[in-house]
Structure 1
Amino acid sequence: MSDQDGGECGRNQPEDVWFLAGTFGGRVTRECAVPGGRPIAFPVVNTYGEPADCAAFMRGARGTVFLDGEAVEPETYRGDAMTVRGARGNAVTEEEGSFTATGCGLWVQLPALAPGKHELKIRGRSGGFSVGVDYALAVSAS
């Protein structure tokens, strides 16, 4: 899914965490309403493939995150085995079925934010691939 404006931000969210999407490359600006009391997780820059693909990707992986003007340090995941469950029409998997891969990247996990408006700026790069997402978050009271 390529959500250009945040209109799909609430789609298929689990009850225990709120995921924010990155991009497939390039920059977007999104608005997103987030329920209060939920931690937030998102990629800065990430990929999946064979272990060698992740090793190469991570050699050049860099990223910055700012929440309300304050720097947030991303966590590094160099290569974790994962099962990918595909769905027809999904922009990443393109078809149904499962496969195993190695996932890697820079990620951030934030505790639940205080109710109100928050500004989140995400910038990531590895080699010639770069992402930039500006989020205007509106967190409701829990």
Structure 2
Amino acid sequence: MAGSIGTERISEWVEVTQTMIDTFAEATGDHQFIHVDPARAAQTPFGGTIAHGFLSLSLMPMLAAKTDAPKIEGARMGVNYGGNKVRFMQPVRSGSRVRGRFKLLKFTERKPGVWEQVNEYTLEIEGADKPALIAEWIALVYV
């Protein structure tokens, strides 16, 4: 895996539907109208409902699984450790298609059997000139 430092992997495109946004709102209790009320959201500069920023961030594991990244041999589990940075650059409108771009920045052994993996995660919006978000995310992989 350390030999893959700097390698980029790109997922397939996935549509962010209003159903996904509504379900996320239910799960998190964030029912702000810009997410769940299409009529009111249409009157904002967004022109319609938008995904929650944290929904966009939480697409990371699903999109990572839709890349050709090699599996880590012997991995028993992976857990989120945190982020060094997260920047929400522009909103994801309901009905937009997004994909993840992942660049492996670091893969080091923290202690025997526990590896730290740092990826740059960029969420691209189809047809947009800038991404929805850029994050530097840390995971721990247990082997």
Q: TM-score, structure 2 length as denominator?
A: 0.32
Instruction: Kindly name which structure, 1 or 2, has the bigger radius of gyration based on alpha carbons.
Output: 2
More strand as a share of residues: 1
Structure with the higher fraction of residues in helix conformation: 2
Using structure 1 for the length normalisation, give the TM-score: 0.32
